[in-house]
Structure 1
Amino acid sequence: MITVVVVAVLVIVLVTLRYAGRGRARGSGRRGLKRRFGPEYESAVACQSGDVRAAERELCERVRRHGSLQEQPLSPEVREQYVAQWDAVQERFVGSPQKAVTEADALLARLARDRGFPDGEQFEEQLAALSAHHAYFVQGYRSMHAAARDRSGTEEMREAMVEARGLFEALVAERQVDPDRRRPPSPDGQGHAPWPLTTRRHAKGSST
């Protein structure tokens, strides 16, 4: 009788530990995904109509497919070319917002490709890969891509370009951004990022 009781107690303890371990694993996995993807985690949940498990499966699939991707370095010359091209696109925005946004969208796609991400012709695939490494900045690219294809208002296009610059700077950086420092800079006191942004040309002493 005593043996039966002892065995029963051991079974209960083992079952309890097993479920507790599963609960900790699920919690740790969710916290890890939230930390890695930041706002993209909430975006994925929204796209799945609030289905958290479906969103987490999708994000885990992105990590599985693209998490091991090694970003390719840019030569100093190529980096300077991209910076100059982005500055030029920003300057053209005042006279031709729609054309500037379209050019910036194509520029980001090329830059991502040169860094080793999937080609921009498959936008969703490229975005999924980028989100596994630069999750805090991909919403800006998504917004600008949409603005480049829709008839958006000038203010909406301006905000999309401002937001997309975070991804541009992350991709054009000489070193990979630390995962804990991938959040975009805070906007100004009124809740809007500055425009036009300070360019490399201004930083060298321009009066504007």
Structure 2
Amino acid sequence: MSTGLIIALIVIIAVVVAAAAVLMLRARDPRHGGGLKRRFGPEYDRAVARHDGDTKAAERELAERVERHGDLRERPLEPAERERYEARWTAAQERFVDAPRDAVAEADRLIAELAGARGFPADGHYEDQLAALSVHHAHHVEGYRRVHRVAHAGVNGAHDGGAGTEEMREAMVEARALFEELVRPSRHDGGRRTGADHAARRDHHTPSLFHRRQAKES
């Protein structure tokens, strides 16, 4: 084999290896393809569905969210703040028994305020706040989207009269997962878990409040 052929083969192999390395890095990059799918989970599938199956368009949207909000650092809550939010959520769940629409509206406001307190976009910028939350809490952000939609059903001239009691109950149950993620201390908060521990003990019993509503209606 001639020296020239050997050099050519070495160059070709080097190019193939470099191309494979680039593809691997892109796959791991949270702003591209597989990285986006891993980062966003169910939110990735929702974006694809919203773009009628166009994965490229969905990935451009998600990559833009990461570019805008990926560097956001969540602000820790003080223990007193945490306990106030937990008390409000418990009160909203209890209120659901007799005033489900008011309870859902309070849950929607509460998550918006809590997200703002943690450093996410606030001041009524719902879409921007939702996009930022989807970058950092992708697996639970749908609960916020749903409770916001239900809270505003039948408002601003809608003719469907709003959501039914069961739909509102399901929205609150789903939204609670995001609330708990936002209110609990993160690993950067110094492990201050007193408020969260109290909430866990209180919330262990609160789902029965929703069932009480069903019993009253049966």
User: What is the aligned partner in structure 1 of residue 79 from structure 2?
Assistant: 76
Contact 1:33–1:56 (CA under 8 A) maintained in structure 2: yes
Once the two structures are superposed, what CA deviation does each residue of 1:45-72 show, in whole Å capped at 9, x if it has no partner? 2222222222222222222221221111
Aligned residues: 184
Aligned to 2:13: 13
Residue from 60, 64, 77 that aligns with 2:63: 60
Moved more, 154-163 or 93-102: 93-102
C-alpha displacement at 1:98, in angstroms? Answer: 1.6
Q: Is structure 2 residue 137 aligned with structure 1 residue 134?
A: yes
Contact 1:120 1:126 in 2 (8 A): no
TM-score normalised per structure 2: 0.75
RMSD of equivalent CA atoms: 2.5
Which residue identity is paired with 1:160? A
- More divergent stretch after superposition (76-85 vs 36-45): 36-45
Secondary structure (helix, strand or coil) at the match of 2:49 reads helix
* TM-score normalised over the length of structure 1: 0.78
Secondary structure of the residue that 1:126 maps to in structure 2?
helix
Counterparts of 1:163 and 1:136 in 2: how far apart (Å)?
A: 11
Tell whether 2:170 aligns with 1:163.
no
Tell me which of 149, 154, 158 is aligned to 2:165: 154
2:202 corresponds to which residue? Answer: 200
Question: Identity over the aligned pairs, expressed in percent?
Answer: 55
Q: Does 1:172 align with 2:183?
A: yes
Q: Could you tell which deviates more after superposition, 25-34 or 77-86?
A: 25-34
- Structure 1 counterpart of 2:193: none
Which of 90, 94, 106 is the aligned partner of 2:93? Answer: 90
Distance 1:201 1:134, change over 3 A: closer
Letter in 2 for 1:75: E
**Which of 66-75 and 155-164 deviates more?**
66-75
Classify the secondary structure of the residue corresponding to 2:146: helix
| Whole-angstrom distance in 2 between the partners of 1:65 and 1:51 | 22
Runs of at least 5 residues in structure 1 that lack an aligned partner in the other structure: 178-197
Q: C-alpha distance in 1, partners of 2:78/2:127?
A: 27
Residues in 2 aligned to 1:33 and 1:63: alpha-carbon distance in whole angstroms = 9
